[in-house]
Chain A
Amino acid sequence: SYELTQPASVSVSPGQTASITCSGDKLGDKYVCWYQQKPGQPPVLVIYQDSNRPSGIPERFSGSNSGNTATLTISGTQAMDEADYYCQAWDSSTVVFGGGTKLTVL
């Protein structure tokens, strides 16, 4: 079965840039989306189709996908961005989630 691999945790200082990776075989051939999840809340879509932001998502969130790695980038990270982040893709008509990355802003 297809797997997506994320780092368990990433730390960033306020105002700096955070990068969260998602790796999978030939991932660049698939569309990747990213969700933000805060404690006790459902996931919120922050990036879809590799690099598109839904309305209402701040411009500091951006995404890219090439080769075997997709990357979620948060520029000028704010304390409110501290959350778990999940990548997601489709493989053979099934949905696959990455294991999630805890972003700490300190």
Chain B
Amino acid sequence: QVQLQESGPGLVKPSETLSLTCSVSGGSISSYYWSWIRQPPGKGLEWIGYIYNNGGTNYNPSLKSRVTISLDTSKNQFSLNLTSVTAADTAVYYCARRGAGGSTEFDYWGQGTLVTVSS
């Protein structure tokens, strides 16, 4: 059974960089799209971006200038960097896997990690 687990600081200061890692177990990180999705408290889901196993990426246009997603296949992990954060970036951050082949859905999700932006 594939499992995803987010890790990283729960508190980030304004203007600094938010960095999170998603560790994948129970399966290889190859041959899938890996995404970050966030959810501000009491609000809906917002897609941040994805990375494919060849390193190709695509980001939400509204966040593109501040986001980098990277892949470490040797550790079966992928990471999120979000620069110049503000209080509006406070959210639960989820990592998720898009299914194989031509699938369009996220079939596995991490439990999520709350990141608060505050001084």
Residues of A near any B CB (own CB < 8 A): 1, 30-31, 33, 35, 41-45, 48-49, 54, 86, 88-90, 93-100
Contact = CB atoms under 8 A, between A and B. Distances in A.
Given A42-B94, A42-B110, A49 B105 contact: yes
A42 B112 contact: yes
A9 to B, nearest CB: 13
Main SS of the interface on chain B? loop
Contacts, number: 61
B78 interface: no
Interface stretch (B12-20, B45-53, B67-75): B45-53
Nearest to A95: B47
Q: What's the interface size class on B, roughly?
A: 20 to 34
Contact of A43 (B45, B60, B62, B99): B45
B106 A45 contact: yes
Nearest to B110: A42
Given A48-B107, A89-B104, 9 more contacts: A42-B111, A43-B94, A45-B105, A49-B103, A88-B104, A95-B35, A95-B60, A96-B47, A100-B45
